[in-house]
Structure 1
């Protein structure tokens, strides 16, 4: 079928879909749509000439709907929200919208929301996140942001103090709405915010989503058209006492020096915050794999470089983010920061050419050690120069550390390839 822009921003236009269905019907009748014809054959009890309803069903199915009426009902609901923004009456100027980035700030205004917006952008899936008092934690995180992203020290510290200062005042708000999706960045933002509350705001609500009908690869709320935010608004739910208790447990587990409690939470499930357990499982994969010492992000990036030859840095990120990452959580700057230790080490895994270019355009290629590590013939932490943190877990080169075994369970790697189960 033809490329459909709604698969990126989620705003589905029914007229466009009707046109797609008519075009598809012509191809079905001409016998030039074999994949769709095979789907129809599976659906039917007996052969029959294709009809418009068949093409509409195929179009709806390609957008994630079970039927054309389901697709139409979804579009009608969004159109109604856009034409009758009654939700605005609920969004009082005193409402405080919280998000782990600024990607929806403009869209909220366009959609008619009136409350104030607060970004809490600390990239908690990266860098040290041990259990420290709030001021010391904010200072530590500012130092990490300064080193990893090149932000001036004073600017990084001012940003962290502003974000964590707002967090300390959150319980005084009349109404708070948290906007998040299913990935580790958002879910760690969610539990960090909830766990920090000294008391509850008058109203505390959550919008949490892991997909939107019609969007083939849902990356996050920030990719959605403004009127999709109006559609999401009625789906908000009060944060329950069970969710608060779970968030405190999860945040404490993530900041512990051992991943055992964190892994147990991910394994057991988190029904009070249903999107949390998958995000914790994915974040657990940022611990080094026992066979190569790589995180999942590092491993996928190296695989992409090897398969593509000498791709540009930005091309590797696009392939990772858009295709291979099972639960997308990285921005491009975060990806660049995660790759620097693999490039800048005395014995690197990646070579970066043409450094006079902006980093996304610089070609990358594997070193001999990169090939050996990717094949499991060498262990990255035996060669790395920089320590790495995953939450409260510190990973120091050539020192005993936590790793993941072949089943994805944490174990303690004391020496060589030996690993003691958690």
Structure 2
């Protein structure tokens, strides 16, 4: 079920370019230098430095900026990194540094047992957990529900539909895709063979849709084991948190110590309701669920908001990813497809969730149209990330809303259980606009 670069042995999550993102290991000396530089800039009357104090809600007081000291600048640095105070920042760094020392010396404490199962929607943290000292088993369940059909069908039919999509969307042989799907789904029936199951997830649509499915599955199966959830939306000092796979082993320990909570009945029921709405043929139920809100799974609502942004915009007919691809091509192009993906992940997508081959699948879907939105350099020896994408006049007009992509589109795409085709989209719009 992977969108990996190579084979099905790699998961969609593991193919993300996490090395370009900060791994979370803050350096105390570097933070001290940042505080000194900030203080120096403030004393020089730098307005950006002054605004940073305001943005950090620093209690400047009646004296204003006239009597600012190093401790004041350190408070701003701490708050910019997500801490309430400089001592809290220092304590965090000291803790991470000590864990790094323990890992490097091979003396790290064991945090779980061999009767623990770590369940993750990809393989991106498997090695990191081992380095950090975790000894439990690891299970990947990585069906990317954020792409392809997610219909409301009995499980055996559902697995078959998903395997068909994975085979076609990620260029995997149908036999291999179906075998892998059946194996992953069947493994979920063995959760009660463990004393302790820990679900490792982050805040994006890829993770949260899978988490909703798992909550529904667990609510039905009720495995006789202790189940806990780690769901992470932010990491101290990490400005652009993409996913758990970008984190150092020490930060995985930090997640274990600070974000692990028991799975409750409220979580299960929330996931079950969300999963039913995700599979609905029309998005009304999902929109209603989002409007209702939930605190049981705090990262679910933002992820679902990003998910339904993939529905076609009434004016342009584009989903958000499609729109962002064209925006990047307009702003920076012509560009290699791999660089468009990097722009998407680094800055354009408000909540990035696509692995690289999932992104390439989106590009290929956009190519199914009468008049192309973009051209690709055509060299059979070129790997897809190096192919040059150039926006066309049709692409520019569609991005501007002067043309509707769905009048140009010639195939089918899905957003959860909602099928989007040139034939059905009229019904889709009329029902939405009549509300």
Using the alignment, how far apart are the partners of 2:425 and 2:351 within structure 1? Answer: 29
Find the counterpart in structure 2 of residue 323 from structure 1: 347
Find the counterpart in structure 2 of residue 35 from structure 1: 48
Using the alignment, how far apart are the partners of 1:390 and 1:332 within structure 2? Answer: 19
Using the alignment, how far apart are the partners of 1:26 and 1:7 within structure 2? Answer: 28
Among 255, 269, 274, the residue aligned to 2:298: 274
**8 Å contact kept, 2:121–2:142:** yes
Structure 1 length normalisation: TM-score?
0.88
Q: How far apart are residue 275 of structure 1 and its match?
A: 1.1
Output one character per residue of 1:238-259: Cα deviation in whole Å (capped at 9) or x when no partner: 1101111111111111111111
Q: How far apart are residue 50 of structure 1 and its match?
A: 5.4
Q: How far apart are residue 87 of structure 1 and its match?
A: 9.6
SS at match of 1:385: coil
Q: How far apart are residue 151 of structure 1 and its match?
A: 1.4
Alignment RMSD: 2.5
- Answering whether residue 43 of structure 2 is matched by residue 20 of structure 1, we say no
SS at match of 2:160: helix
- Answering whether residue 433 of structure 2 is matched by residue 420 of structure 1, we say yes
SS at match of 1:364: strand
Find the counterpart in structure 1 of residue 80 from structure 2: 62
Deviates more, 1:360-369 or 1:219-228: 360-369
Q: 1:244 to 1:38 in 2, by over 3 A?
A: closer
Among 199, 209, 221, the residue aligned to 1:178: 199
**8 Å contact kept, 1:343–1:352:** no
Gaps of 5+ in 1: 403-411
Alignment of 1:133-144 (within 5 A): 133-144=154-165
Alignment of 1:21-420 (within 5 A): 21-25=35-39, 31=44, 34-40=47-53, 43=58, 44=60, 45-48=63-66, 51-79=69-97, 89-197=110-218, 198-234=221-257, 235-356=259-380, 357-400=382-425, 412-414=428-430, 420=433
Using the alignment, how far apart are the partners of 2:283 and 2:334 within structure 1? Answer: 36
**8 Å contact kept, 2:149–2:416:** yes
Equivalent residues, number:
405
Output one character per residue of 1:15-40: Cα deviation in whole Å (capped at 9) or x when no partner: 332243345555555x3955224545
Using the alignment, how far apart are the partners of 1:366 and 1:57 within structure 2? Answer: 46
**8 Å contact kept, 1:36–1:58:** no
Gaps of 5+ in 2: 1-18
SS at match of 1:413: helix
Q: How far apart are residue 266 of structure 1 and its match?
A: 0.9
Q: How far apart are residue 89 of structure 1 and its match?
A: 5.0
Using the alignment, how far apart are the partners of 2:190 and 2:369 within structure 1? Answer: 42
SS at match of 2:197: strand
**8 Å contact kept, 2:368–2:411:** no
